[in-house]
A and B are shown apart, each in its own frame.
Chain A
Amino acid sequence: MTSDSLLKARQAIGTALTRALPEHPHLNWHHGLSSEAGLDSVQIMNLVMEIEDELDLSVPVDLLAEVNTLEELAARLAELIEEQS
């Protein structure tokens, strides 16, 4: 993946975090979203909906099962961005 796509994905996640999870302002990008950050499945899905709006792409629900951390999510989103461009 290109650094442009990854940067775009990270920026989208950052924006989505402030909208979907304002109560978690300092999430560690390398921590497990549910195991360490303590997010429940609804919070994670709402975060992804914000990211979808931000990037104007649809994220398959299955993708969520493949990622544990925000950094992994950014990498998968970058791949999706490139698939659709």
Chain B
Amino acid sequence: MSLFDKFQPLAEARAALGGVSPAPIATPIEAVLSATRGRIGGREVLLAGTNNYLGLTYDPAVIEAAGKALAEFGSGTTGSRMANGSYDSHRALEQELAEAFGWSSAMVFSTGYQANLGSLSALAGKGDYLLLDSDSHASIYDGARLSQAETIRFRHNDPDNLNRRLERLGADAKRALIVVEGLYSMLGDQPPLEAFVEVKERHGAWLLVDEAHSFGVFGERGLGLTEASGLLDRVDFVVGTFSKSLAGIGGFCVSPHPELELMRLACRPYIFTASPSPATIAGTRAALRRLVEGQDLRARLQRNFNRLYAGVRELGYRMGSEQPGPVAAIILPDRASALHHWRSLLEAGVYANLMIPPATPAGLNLLRISLSAAHSDDDVDLIVGALAEINVPA
């Protein structure tokens, strides 16, 4: 009997993927050459699985700001926001995020994971309710576990199903925080956000939208699906990450409720961790400026994902989402087929993501492609061409 015995099923699942190199899970990336090129297995490949939606990882202004802050303020803060780790730049980024939304308050977290962990666990306490979309990201489920609220799931993207659960709560629905995502990272689908807002208003509940994969992508100023849907004045909280469109690491929660400021005093994943490094904050601030004014990048990204979706559909593949978006999930019949597609794509010089149960909803086996504004038409054609060449075993 060992503490490690419980990991045996995971070890067996990993072994079932085969011991060949490079591994499809935690694939070693030997070098990153640009926002769209890297080296894997000794070969240069197109990066089409990095969620680098705006392609800002090598943006000169971002690099310069981060480098300058690194030299000026050092490599780390060596402390939490509640102790010695609260610099002017952290506050400035929070103010810039709040201003971008036209809201009163924002909090910055050290990772996107912690933004959900902290926001959910602090906002919903004992006697409150968390209503989660069943396809929610692990950080949302983990935030619910850390909170002492009663957690109830509703069917994915189903406002009527949510409505039924709120009806059962009766007057307690006013103590319920509903959590949905602006874009679901596994299947690439989007929620019927306005319908969810109508349900939450009907019951006097609260709504948090996790825009991790939609921030920078949707909306005139890139604020996400909430902005794109014209709902900025009807949502209570938006959570997001710095590690996708903003090309850094960290996360945020922004709200029109000024009381969000009080959450700093009760939010364990915010209090008991070191604050983001000065370089991270400076790079993120530069990226945020580019994102807000990045209509050109969003147009480019949209062109790319429309082109990819059209090409993939033409090949006859089943997609995770009817609506084109920056995540294109190809649904494959089983794990072996998904693995075969992943390997074939890599052999053709394209890195995408293999996503398999239990990480995926409904036990689906997926080949997940993520697009970037930095991809060219030729890059998109390379992906589609590689898919077209895959020899599907009988």
A: which residues have CB within 8 A of B? 40-43, 45-46, 48-49, 56-62
**B168 at interface (Cβ–Cβ under 8 A)?**
yes
* List of B residues within 8 angstroms of A42 by Cβ: 357-358, 360-363
Residues of B close to A58: CB separation below 8 A: 152, 165, 168-169
Given A42-B360, A59-B152: 7 more A-B contacts, CB < 8 Å: A42-B362, A46-B362, A56-B164, A56-B168, A60-B151, A61-B153, A62-B150
Q: 19 A–B contact pairs at CB < 8 A? A: A40-B358, A41-B358, A42-B360, A42-B361, A43-B363, A45-B153, A48-B153, A49-B153, A49-B155, A56-B164, A58-B165, A58-B168, A58-B169, A60-B150, A61-B141, A61-B144, A61-B152, A61-B153, A62-B151
Q: Say yes or no: A49 contacts B358, CB within 8 Å.
A: no
Question: For A45, what are the chain B residues with a Cβ–Cβ distance below 8 Å?
Answer: 134, 153
Asked if B357 and A40 sit within 8 Å, CB to CB, the answer is yes
**Shortest distance in angstroms between A62's beta carbon and chain B's nearest beta carbon?**
7
B152: chain A residues at CB < 8 Å are 58-61
CA distance A55 to B260 in the complex (A): 37
B residues apposed to A, CB below 8 Å = 132, 134, 141, 144, 150-153, 155, 164-165, 168-169, 357-358, 360-363
Cα distance, A58 to B144, chains bound together (Å): 16
Q: How far is the CB of A24 from chain B (nearest CB, A)?
A: 12
Quote the shortest CB–CB distance from B130 to chain A (angstroms): 9
CA distance A3 to B362 in the complex (A): 34
Query: Are B134 and A49 in contact, CB atoms less than 8 angstroms apart?
Result: yes
Chain A residues within an 8 Å CB radius of B153: 45, 48-49, 61
The 7 closest A-B pairs by CB, nearest first: A61-B151, A40-B358, A58-B152, A60-B150, A58-B165, A58-B168, A42-B358
A45 to B362, CA, bound (A): 10
Question: Which of chain A's residues have a CB closer than 8 A to the CB of B141?
Answer: 61
Tell me the complex Cα distance, A57–B168, Å. Answer: 7
Residues on the A chain within 8 Å of B361, using CB: 42
Query: CB-CB < 8 A to A62: which residues of B?
Result: 150-151
Complex Cα gap A40–B360 (Å): 11
Residues of chain B contacted by A40 (CB below 8 angstroms): 357-358, 363
Instruction: Give the distance to chain B from A45, nearest Cβ to Cβ, in Å.
Output: 7
Residues of B within 8 A of A60 (CB): 150-152
Shortest CB distance B298–A (Å) = 33
With A and B bound together, what is the CA distance between A73 and B287 in angstroms?
A: 49
Q: For residue B134, which residues in chain A have a CB less than 8 angstroms away from its CB? A: 45-46, 49
Nearest residue, chain B, Cβ from A60: B150
Which chain A residues border B357 with CB–CB below 8 Å? Answer: 40, 42
Alpha-carbon distance between A59 and B389 when the two chains are bound, in angstroms? 47
Question: A23 to nearest B CB, angstroms?
Answer: 9
Residues of B within 8 A of A57 (CB): 168
Chain B residue with the shortest CB-CB distance to A62: B151
Enumerate chain B residues within 8 angstroms of A41, measured Cβ to Cβ: 358
Task: Note all chain A residues with C-beta closer than 8 A to B358.
Answer: 40-42
Interface centre among B132, B151, B169 (most CB of A within 10 A): B151
**CB-defined contacts of A49 to chain B, threshold 8 Å:** 134, 153, 155
Q: Could you say which of B134, B153, B360 has the most chain A C-beta atoms within 10 Å of its C-beta? A: B153
Residue among B132, B358, B360 having the largest count of chain A Cβ atoms under 10 Å: B358
Cα distance A48–B151 in the bound complex, in angstroms = 13
A40 to B165, CA, bound (A): 24
**Nearest chain A residue, comparing its CB with the CB of B152:** A58
A61 to B153, CA, bound (A): 7
What's the least CB distance linking A50 to chain B, in Å?
A: 10
CB-CB < 8 A to A48: which residues of B?
Answer: 153
Complex alpha-carbon distance, A61 and B151, angstroms: 5
Within the complex, the shortest CB–CB distance from B1 to chain A, in Å, comes to 15
A58 to B152, CA, bound (A): 7
